[in-house]
Structure 1
Amino acid sequence: MNHPFWLSLLASITVTCVYCQDGTCGIPPISPVLNETQFTRVRGGEEAVSGSWPWQVRVGFKNPLGQKAGFMCGGSIIDRRHILTASHCFAQFNLSQQKFFVRVGDHSVQVVEARQADYDVDTVTNHPGFVQGPTGVRDDITVLKLSIPITYSATVQPICLGDQGSDAVDDRVCVVTGWGSTVNQVTGIFRGTRIRRQIQPPRPIIIPSDVLKQAVLPILERSYCRQIWGQIQIDENMICTAAEQLDREPCQGDSGGPLVCQVEGNPGQWVQEGVVSFGAGCGQNGPAVFTRVGQYRNWIKGITDRVVTISLGKEKK
């Protein structure tokens, strides 16, 4: 692509924290280290500093015996009892029977770390407008309620949520994180749906990254993103990230994970602006699409019922 349109869709200086410890959210005690000059997708991205994205979680499922069977998506901590993730992660499951769990404080999938902990999911609330079909994915956002509260630590903390705001030019640094596939085994949206070419594909085989990875991504102007996707609906509830070359967007297994951006005027604080939703496919040249979190703030508030708004670092009840 030869279109240098970097336009943020969310320029509000106000962020929302569903749970704020000491009036703060989105401030990692362990600072991330970013290579802002190298835009690489999570699949080929750089390893994150261990513990530097303390709101990142892995969402897993259990077998019929109630045993932990595997992981299918990422997510983010928004308070002690709630996780934000994507609805399409649960499309293949019977929610009335299937059991899920969430792992917090994780970094390496091969190492059992003392700081990591698993929490059972009590309730899965998909957005009622969620649709996945030939014209794309809509309202791809889910809130998980945990059975017991999360214990916070230096490596387990909540993220701020973006507020609904008008489109404006914004040069904030934005980062996507996840354990997505490092091998181009299957093409398609992050759970395998090849959105332009097939509607009901076989389930992909996901080979996750051994460690949590991160990628700095520029935001793509929505009107230009619409031109690229053609018949696929791109609306004001979505954010696109640019992918001028391969290896610049999330891959299989990153679904549901957070796209976070630095708070304007406070680079040490982060706000979640997107949830990984869909893309052209692993190893394919095209923009990734995220659910725009700020557009769903009131819906999230209705589920968590404990939203605190923080404006310029000051807490308002």
Structure 2
Amino acid sequence: MSRVTLVSCVLLLLALGTSAADIEGSPCQRDGYNGTCVLAKHCETLILDYKEQNYPPVCGLRGKEPIVCCTDCDLVDNIENIYLSRQHSRLEKTNEKSWDACIDNALYIPDYHCKSTISYGFHKQYNPERKCHSIVSSAWSPVGGEDAERAEFPFMALLGFGPSAEEAQWLCGGSVISARYILTAAHCISEPRLGPLKYAALGILKRSDPPEIWQRHTLAQVIPHPDYVSPSKYHDIALLKTEKQIEFNVNVVPACLYSGRISPYINKTRALALGWGYLGPRKRLADVLQKVEVSEFTAEECLKQYPPHRHLLDGFDNSTQLCFGDRDTPHDTCQGDSGGPLILHESEAGCTRAVLGVTSSGVACGDAGAGLYTRIEHYKPWIVSIVWP
């Protein structure tokens, strides 16, 4: 709801005789329920009231900001930052640049569609124990919906080395995170036999997809983390800037960065690793994008698996690295998956996918154990300073 609309409604109500004598924080009544006079921007149920043209009693004004009778259980910072979406449920901006960009992607990219066919509805509900109201959501799935595998991970990038995009060898992965930037591993920025990284292919599910499906991009800038020193496994993260803006469509949309928030709905101990790497020892590179479910290992397990050695002088670093895999069976990434994302199963914002880590290194392909991933949460300030300055 815009502030102009709110103020117009307030002035209309005042003109109709609504009292402005009450002050902010004073008790009030609305529709037979006890409430408190608060700034309208703090009263979340006003979002639904406004849509239904069911305006609350006005207590007064603070400057140009209306003070209304609110019966909410909990107040919010600003209802202008809250979006109630039939496709994505409730979203709230927080002035954190990467998180707000994630919400904008979900809301405003026309082709951003959900794999799920669930739709959400919202209504105001009274809590008899707390004697107040809140907005609750309900979800339903229409009959006949079908998941689309081709667009399941539309942020995936395949990275190429060689003299031209047509002759390139595609040997690393990455994640589109904005209209100009792709996230990958720093050790992917050059290949000893083929030279520097030059190209990115987007919008594909298979290496064998026809050329018209490939959205090829030449890289304008390759930005490894300033603390990365090859061949060390620390700070193994890089950003790739494309020469031209990425065209978003049903097969190409950006991923989000994991927010780091604690939520009862997010299980960050289970994740999916993605890539077009080798299918196993002495096997070929995958034609179709592969996904593998992996579990988080404890810091103690990771340090045991990754003790100090010449490329990891202090061993596994829990503050900058993650350790995911399978303790019993060979479920993990393989050579060629480097730079690809480790993503959460659950979505933090609607049906967007959140990148938890970047594939860095691992045990011998085909062995049980854990792969090594760069922890996105630690490097988010650096990423934001470049992508969303």
Q: Normalized against structure 1, the TM-score is what?
A: 0.70
Distance 1:159 1:214 in 2: 16
1:260 pairs with one of 343, 364, 367? 343
Q: What is the aligned partner in structure 2 of residue 226 from structure 1?
A: 303
Q: Which residue of 2 aligns with 1:147?
A: 243
Secondary structure of 2:357's aligned partner:
strand
Shift of 1:255: 0.5
Compared CA separation, residues 182 and 162, structure 1 to 2 (3 A): same
1:256–1:66 Cα change, 3 Å? closer
The answer to whether residue 244 in structure 2 is matched with residue 160 in structure 1 is no
Could you tell me how far apart the structure 2 residues matched to 1:218 and 1:268 are?
Answer: 21
Larger Rg: 1 or 2? 2
Shift of 1:143: 0.1
* Alignment length (residue pairs): 255
CA distance in 1, matches of 2:307, 2:196: 36
The Cα shift of 1:93 comes to 5.4
In the alignment, which of 179, 189, 205 is matched to residue 80 of structure 1?
179
Judge which range, 212-221 or 147-156, deviates more.
212-221
Q: Find out whether 1:131 has 2:229 as its counterpart.
A: yes
RMSD: 3.3
Residue 281 of structure 1: CA displacement?
Answer: 1.7
Q: Secondary structure at the match of 1:108?
A: coil
SS of 1:50 mapped into structure 2: helix
What code does the residue aligned with 1:160 have? C
Q: 1:181 to 1:17 in 2, by over 3 A?
A: farther
Q: Does 1:176 align with 2:259?
A: no
Q: Which has the higher contact order (CA 8 A, sep 6+)?
A: 1
Q: Distance in 1 between matches of 2:357 and 2:253?
A: 18
Change (3 A) 1:222 1:264: farther
Quote the Cα distance in structure 1 between the aligned partners of 2:197 and 2:185: 16
Q: 1:80 to 1:50 in 2, by over 3 A?
A: same
Q: Note the C-alpha offset of 1:259.
A: 0.6
Instruction: Determine the structure 2 residue equivalent to 1:288.
Output: 371
Instruction: Give 1 or 2: higher helix fraction.
Output: 2
Unaligned ranges ≥5, structure 2: 1-93, 118-147
Quote the Cα distance in structure 1 between the aligned partners of 2:291 and 2:337: 11
Residue 214 of structure 1 pairs with residue 214 of structure 2: no
Quick one: which amino acid aligns to residue 186 of structure 2?
A: S
Instruction: Letter of the 1:226 partner, please give it.
Output: L
Deviation track 1:230-275 (CA, whole Å, cap 9, x = no partner) reads 2242111111113213421101111000111045676733211100
Indicate how the Cα distance of structure 1 residues 164 and 266 shifts in structure 2: closer, same or farther if over 3 A, else same. closer
Distance 1:269 1:286, change over 3 A: same
Q: Report which stretch shifted further, 113-122 or 208-217.
A: 113-122
Deviation, 1:22, is: 5.4
What secondary structure, in the 3-state scheme, does the structure 2 residue paired with 1:268 have? coil
Within the candidate set 58, 61, 70, 2:158 is matched to 58
2:169 to 47, 70, 73: 70
Aligned residue in 1 for 2:39: none
| Structure 1 segments unaligned to the other structure (5+ residues) | 1-12, 34-47, 186-205, 307-317
Indicate how the Cα distance of structure 1 residues 266 and 149 shifts in structure 2: closer, same or farther if over 3 A, else same: closer
Equivalent position amino acid for 1:153 in 2: N
Q: Which residue of 2 aligns with 1:31?
A: 115
| Letter matched to residue 29 of structure 1 | H
Q: Does 1:110 align with 2:194?
A: no
